[in-house]
Structure 1
Amino acid sequence: MRHSGDWMTLVDDRVLEYIRENESGSPTQMKKEGPIHYSRQYVDKRCRKLADEGLLRHLGNGVYVLTDDGEAYLDGTLDTQNWVRLDENGGAAANGIRDAGEEQEG
C-alpha cells in the first residue's frame, strides 16, 4: 500500500509508474505514449513538483528519472506525508527522513 502525502494528486502515481516502467520520461512522452489523460502542461507541472519533493530527478530537456525515494514510494516503503521510511508491515522503519518543515532540494 502506498502512503501519499496531502500534496500529491491522482496523476502523480501514473507519472511515477510510467517513469519506473520506461526508466525515464518527459511530459510529452507520457502524454503521447502513456495512459495519462491530462494535458502535457499539467503533467509537466506535476513532474516539477515531484522533482522538488525528491521523488523524481530532472535530467534536463524535460526528461525525468525516478530517485531512490520515488522507488521507495512506489514500493510502499516511504510515507510522503510524514517523510518516514516504512517496513514491510507499514510501520515506521526509521526516523523521519526530513526535518519538520524542510523542503527537498532539487
Structure 2
Amino acid sequence: MTIRKTARWQQCIDDRILEHLRDDSWSTASQMAKKNGIHATEAQIQDRCRVLADADLVAFLTEDQDLVELTTEGEQYLEGEVDVELYPHPRHPRLME
C-alpha cells in the first residue's frame, strides 16, 4: 500500500481528482463532477484544479483552463514519492483569477 505524503493545504477531493486523472489521461471539471467518488460541484472541482495546478500536480491543457491532466509530479505524489508539504504553498483559487 502506498502512503502519500499530503500537505496541510490539501483537501480530500484533491486525491480523488488526481486519482481520476491517473485513470483517464485528461478530464474536465464537468466530467469529474459526474463521477462516483468525487462528491463536489463543478465549481469546487475547478477551484481545486487551480490549486493543484499552482502546486504543479496537474496542468491545464487549454488557455481557458477547461482540460486538465496529471503532471509527473502528480504521478509521483500518488506513488508516495513526493512530499508536497515541502513544495511552496499554492495560492487560493480566487487569487489566481
Judge same fold: TM > 0.5, yes or no.
Answer: yes
The 10-residue stretch of structure 1 (61-70 or 42-51) with the greater mean CA deviation from structure 2 = 61-70
1:38 aligned partner: 40
2:79 aligned partner: 75
1:63 aligned partner: 67
Structure 1 residue 32: Cα displacement: 1.5
RMSD between superposed Cα atoms in Å: 1.9
1:79 is matched by which residue type in structure 2? D
Aligned mates of 1:34, 1:77 — CA distance in 2? 27
Aligned mates of 2:52, 2:42 — CA distance in 1? 15
Q: Is the 8 A contact 1:58 1:65 kept in 2?
A: yes
TM-score, normalised via structure 1 length: 0.75
Structure with higher strand content: 1
Unaligned runs of 5+ in 1: 84-100
* 2:7 is aligned with 1:5: yes
Aligned mates of 1:36, 1:102 — CA distance in 2? 23
Aligned mates of 2:34, 2:89 — CA distance in 1? 35
Aligned mates of 1:22, 1:34 — CA distance in 2? 14
Structure 1 residue 33: Cα displacement: 3.0
Percent identical among aligned pairs is 34
Q: Is the 8 A contact 1:18 1:34 kept in 2?
A: no
Structure with higher helix content: 2
Quick one: higher RCO (CA 8 Å, sep 6+), 1 or 2? 2
* 2:22 is aligned with 1:20: yes
Aligned mates of 1:19, 1:72 — CA distance in 2? 13
